[in-house]
Structure 1
């Protein structure tokens, strides 16, 4: 069997470059391309050691450990031991994640069992089923991009959940509990009272409001018309706002008695606030059903929850 060492080395160089690049992306580090290339060059040279009898000691786990430290130092540098150690562990995590994904995808498409003359037969070799180079060339970039997207999604989700709070809105004898997102981009305020306006997803919480109240809230023009009176009608407010590409929009809001916010082990009670009623879903995945105004978290006395 002919072994093309230059092809094997080139493939390993490309794969090592992508592994180091993904590690740098997850570390949020701006790593220069020449440092990535140098690190990938050192990492890919390990393949050459396997074909040199005098360098067989490099297959020792301890030597592999030292070699990986060299790769990380050359690529990402050394400033502090803690940051270097985290970088080194993340490099191993990325390698095992991509490698595990490749092997998992390989065995997912394999058929190791056949039925022959009514008998079940399995096939296996002592060293496992070899992975074809074509599968590696196609599968590695796919697993790389998939892993990067999943990690980015998990990071975004973590950021969102770090900004979530538990909210209780009290209106007379009705208490509405919701999970809220603290949105720094929400700067909506009532122009008359200056009260901040939070947004409530009515597609989820509409059942907490009287039907007559909902009807008036959906039809702004009926505010001044005579008809069935509602006990919360005096709490209705109309708040003008401006959206991207839309001017002179109006939002129906309700004046609550108070809003209790529980976040990061503390509780805030806000009384000067309006609750804007959105009859459109504000979170497709229902991670939160309310959007808080950032002003609601400042200037209020907090208590330990």
Structure 2
């Protein structure tokens, strides 16, 4: 069997470059392409060790460990031990993640058993299950992109949930518990009182409000018309707002007794606030059911929760 060492080396160089690039992306480090190429070049030389008998000691686990330190050093440099160690661990994580993805995809499409004359037969070469070059050339970039996007999605989700807080709304004897999203883009305020306006998802919490108030809130144009009275009617407010592409919009809001926000081990009690009632879902996945105004988190006394 002919072995084209130059092709194997080039293939490993490309793969090592992509692994180091993904490691840099996950580390949020801007690594120059020159350094990535240098690290990939050093990593690809390991293939040559497998074909040189005098360098067989490089296949020992300890030498592999030391060689990976050299690869990470050549690519990311060394500033302090902690950051270097994190780079090294993440490099191994990316390598195992991509390699595991490749093996998983291979065995997913591989059919190892066949039925011959009513008997189950398995296929084996005695040297493991070979993976075709075509599968490697196509599968590696696919798994690389898939892993990159999955990790980025997990990071986005983590950042998203870091902005969530437990919210408790009290109106008379009624207490509404919700998960709130801290939205820095929410700058809605009542023009008369200057109170910040948070948004409550009524598709989730409508049952906590009297039917007569719900009817008035849904028909803002008939807000001034006389109808069935309600004990919370004096709490109703009309807040004008402007949406993208739309002018002169109005939002029905309710004045609560207080809103308690629990975030990062501390509790905030906010009394100067209005609750805008939204009859459209504000979270497709129901991760949260209200949107908090950033002003609600400042200027209020916090207590340990």
> Could you tell me how far 1:124 is from its partner in structure 2?
2.5
Q: Name the counterpart of 2:242.
A: 242
SS at match of 1:280: coil
In the alignment, structure 1 residue 19 sits paired with structure 2 residue 19 = yes
SS at match of 2:199: strand
Aligned equivalents of 1:185, 1:264: Cα separation in 2: 21
Within 5 A, what are the aligned runs for 1:81-100? 81-100=81-100
1:118-159: per-residue Cα shift (whole Å, max 9, x none)?
Answer: 111122243321111111111111111111111111111111
In the alignment, structure 1 residue 8 sits paired with structure 2 residue 3 = no
Q: Name the counterpart of 1:120.
A: 120
Within 5 A, what are the aligned runs for 1:155-234? 155-234=155-234
SS at match of 1:106: helix
Q: Name the counterpart of 1:135.
A: 135
> Could you tell me how far 1:115 is from its partner in structure 2?
1.1
Aligned equivalents of 1:258, 1:93: Cα separation in 2: 47
Aligned equivalents of 1:123, 1:222: Cα separation in 2: 76
1:50-103: per-residue Cα shift (whole Å, max 9, x none)?
Answer: 111121111111111111111101100100000000000000000000000000
Aligned equivalents of 1:28, 1:11: Cα separation in 2: 26
Aligned equivalents of 1:62, 1:264: Cα separation in 2: 43
1:20-61: per-residue Cα shift (whole Å, max 9, x none)?
Answer: 000000000000011101111111111111111121111111
Runs of 4+ in 1 over 3 A off after TM superposition: none
Q: Name the counterpart of 1:45.
A: 45
1:139-194: per-residue Cα shift (whole Å, max 9, x none)?
Answer: 11111111111111111111111111100111111111000111111111111101
Aligned equivalents of 1:126, 1:253: Cα separation in 2: 73
Aligned equivalents of 1:68, 1:132: Cα separation in 2: 27
SS at match of 2:74: helix
Aligned equivalents of 2:272, 2:159: Cα separation in 1: 28
> Could you tell me how far 1:247 is from its partner in structure 2?
2.0
Question: Structure 1: which 5+ residue stretches go unaligned?
Answer: none
Q: Name the counterpart of 1:54.
A: 54
Aligned equivalents of 1:266, 1:257: Cα separation in 2: 20
Aligned equivalents of 1:73, 1:155: Cα separation in 2: 26
SS at match of 1:253: strand
Normalised TM-score (structure 1): 0.98
SS at match of 1:300: coil
In the alignment, structure 1 residue 73 sits paired with structure 2 residue 39 = no
In the alignment, structure 1 residue 151 sits paired with structure 2 residue 151 = yes
Mean CA deviation greater in 97-106 or 210-219: 210-219
Aligned equivalents of 1:122, 1:167: Cα separation in 2: 59
Aligned length: 305
Question: Structure 2: which 5+ residue stretches go unaligned?
Answer: none
User: Could you say what the CA RMSD is over the residues aligned between the two structures, in angstroms?
Assistant: 1.0
Aligned equivalents of 1:264, 1:55: Cα separation in 2: 55
